[in-house]
Amino acid sequence: MQNLKRIIECREGRRCNSPLSCKHCGESWRRAKFKGFAECLPSVLEDTDIITYLVVKPWEFLSLRAGIERMFKYLDDLREEKKRGRLPVMFSRLEVSFGKKNLGFNPHLNIICFDDPSRLIDLADSHGLKVWHRQKDHNKDTALSIAWYMLKFNNIGIEKGEAVRKALNRRTQLLHSKEFNHKTINYIDEYIDLDFSFMGVYPIRSKEEIRIREKIREERRRLNAKFKRLLERAKLE
């Protein structure tokens, strides 16, 4: 209860330091870790010629704690590879999202690999984990875009965020090869200047255009709901 109260009262100058539950602290954590990644990236790109994005997760539906423990067994093997100097050039983040479609918590590991990813895939297979991977363009903007996405704050609410925090049990969400070693940044109440040019240029829309677009989206949602009801009715007939 005390921890929930601290999160609710979080404000500038008096942060709750709960990046899994608090949007303010979560976004600060994201910017700090992203800055560390971005500062290491140029030297990494000079020595590699491939970028692969991977997502690793359990095949079956598991409870929050069981799913996280399954992922950490895989992470333990990756840490052992790092100790032995066999870990590919990579940066990863264990993320826990929540969606009604997959019946609850979805712990998964996001990985951006700048090397041959076959070792990562083989280890995942040995743990019975599902791997999705895709090769990406080898350039700075692509790598920054992937990392920014990987480090996002999941707005799953305070109670679910606290459940994730307890299940993690103080274990870090990040694992990376030595190429991304970076001085720890104190992200609480720290202004971090970042270059977001990698995200491209987005059109500036007027308030009237935004209102019209929202009205059209609402109308589409209404028509889709009506369409589903008609289909269900047709099946019964």
Concatenated DSSP letters of 154-189: ----HHHHHHHHHHHTT--SEEE-GGG--PPP--TT
- pTM here? 0.78
> Mind listing the pLDDT tens digit for each residue in 107-121?
999 999 999 999 999
Sign of CA dihedral 127, 129, 135, 136: negative
167/158 Cα distance (integer angstroms): 14
pLDDT digits (tens, 9 = 90+) for 130-148: 999 999 999 999 999 999 9
Average pLDDT of the residues of the chain: 85
Average pLDDT for 31-44: 91
Reply yes or no on whether the pLDDT at 190 is more than 60: no
The pair of three-digit structure tokens given for residue 133, joined into one six-digit string: 């991977």
Residue 206, pLDDT score: 64
- Tell me the pLDDT band of 197, cut-offs 50, 70 and 90: confident
pLDDT confidence of residue 164: 93
